[in-house]
Amino acid sequence: MLYKDIITQIESLDTTTISEERKLIVTPLIDFVKSKKEAKEDIRINFICTHNSRRSHLSQVWAQTIAAYFNIKNVFCYSGGTEATALFPMAAKALTTSGFKIETISNEKNPVYSIKNGDNNHPIIGFSKKYDDSFNPTSKFAAVLTCSSADQGCPFIAGAEKRIPITFEDPKAFDNTPQQEEKYQERSIQIATELYYVFSKIK
């Protein structure tokens, strides 16, 4: 069971804000999830960005959570980068604003977070890593590129059954500005809305 605040946030998402162009962009991910579900296979999705610090984490957490909301079984979401840095605190705060409970497991240069979407649900472990880190799957997964530089920098991803560019604008552009918190929340909600649309199409 998801936390009440997360359910409220999910049920407030407005898919009418998604353009027809964006719907076309996410269609390959819908097709991947459908084909895996129909084949009764595990659905593994690795969200990849350059630094694995913002958009890829937001995508991983929302995809795992929205799949649970729609009761779609055997969905396993991951994230990685072309290099490892750290999960940016404002990305974590955007998730907290939507009702996630986040605890710091280790507070080092690259902190490790426990991100929970429900009291009895397995936590999502959030930390920055390369996309081919041993924490991530090695085969039978969809690689979803969440930023254009990762899309251009990763023409081939070993083990990926499908490579799907679904790029989002980087909220990093607003770091250290008065709009920072608002823009991170805005990006988090955009990602959640588009992933809600994806999983709502899975019957």
Q: Which residues of 138-174 are buried (b: 16+ CB within 10 A; e: fewer)?
A: eeebbbbbbbeebbeebeebeebebbbbbbbebbbeb
What CA–CA distance (Å, rounded) separates 94 from 149?
23
Phi first, then psi, for residue 124 (nearest 5°) are -85, 130
pLDDT, residue 182, reads 97
pLDDT, residue 150, reads 72
- How high is the mean pLDDT of the chain? 95
Q: What is the pLDDT of residues 1-56, one digit of tens each?
A: 999 999 999 999 999 999 999 999 999 999 999 999 999 999 999 999 999 999 99
Residue 179 located in a structural domain: no
Residue 147 located in a structural domain: yes
Residue 153 binned pLDDT confidence (cut-offs 50, 70, 90): confident
Residue 100 located in a structural domain: yes
What single-letter DSSP state applies at residue 6? H
Residue 160 located in a structural domain: yes
Residue 162 located in a structural domain: yes
Give the mean model confidence (pLDDT) for residues 87-96: 96
CATH number at residue 97: 3.40.50.2300
- Domains contained in the chain, number: 1
Residue 84 located in a structural domain: yes
Among candidates 18, 4, 19, which has minimal Cα distance to 193?
Answer: 18
pLDDT, residue 44, reads 98
Residue 58 located in a structural domain: yes
Q: Does residue 165 contact residue 25 with C-beta atoms inside 8 Å? A: yes
Domain region containing 78: 4-12+40-168+184-200
Residue 82 located in a structural domain: yes
